[in-house]
Structure 1
């Protein structure tokens, strides 16, 4: 079982289940959790974090629905073997673009400059050293609801 420390901010406005989800995704991107790595059981993680196990269940369910982990009642949760593969599902790709657009909109609303945003993105991408450097797909900029994005 992979040993990854998930740091949560219990005073944050971000729900704890979302923080767990985000920390697991970051651990995968950082290379601390590899495809196929076992995650702690929901009960064990709840004990480790001193939180309700239903909160961990909610986080794991979200990760499962997003295709990031697999959950088996007998063997537990593992990082999906296909994680870090190119997105082939058009709906998943469109969902990712919508979430990225919302984050960029939030940065704009909070007054961050283009340079600050680009600098943060570059620094963050550099952390994920195994990102592919291939050309973007032709549909990389499209969205499902183009009329509402401009």
Structure 2
């Protein structure tokens, strides 16, 4: 698993880790049932605190992306990913509202904002399972 953290970013490390694991699942790089490194191993590999990795894994478990087993360790949810819920849609609207406001303040047109959004979405899932979607 390839994780690249920006230690100078204003985005907390645990959030970067969560985002990159979700992107790995979305792109198909991480498949249902795939094992992830243990908290200790990933922390050592990335040179970060194990509590940071633990927080990321726990958030992903709560959101339904991961399962944690005593014997199997941490694995990508094998029983299907969580669906779109009302809470997810509200969180998405909040984040998009913030991004749209920042884009508008900088003079980006609505069409350019929509094109960028489509491009990011498509690039995230383009190589999923080796297929073009």
Higher relative contact order (CA 8 A, sep 6+): 2
Aligned residue in 2 for 1:123: 119
Provide the aligned length of Structure 1 versus Structure 2. 126
**Greater mean alpha carbon deviation, residues 89-98 or residues 38-47:** 89-98
Aligned residue in 2 for 1:112: 108
TM-score normalised by structure 2 residue count: 0.80
Q: CA 1:105–1:70 in structure 2 vs 1: closer, same or farther (change >3 Å)?
A: farther
Q: What is the distance in 2 between the residues matched to 1:106 and 1:26?
A: 23
Q: Which runs of 4+ in 1 moved over 3 A?
A: 89-112
Give unmatched runs, 5+ long, in structure 1: 134-150
For the pair 1:101 / 2:84, whether they are aligned, the reply is: no
Give unmatched runs, 5+ long, in structure 2: none
Q: Give the structure with the higher percent helix.
A: 2
Q: What is the distance in 1 between the residues matched to 2:99 and 2:68?
A: 29
**RMSD after superposition:** 2.2
1:74-99 superposed Cα distances (whole Å, 9 cap, x missing partner): 3211111212x643x43344434433
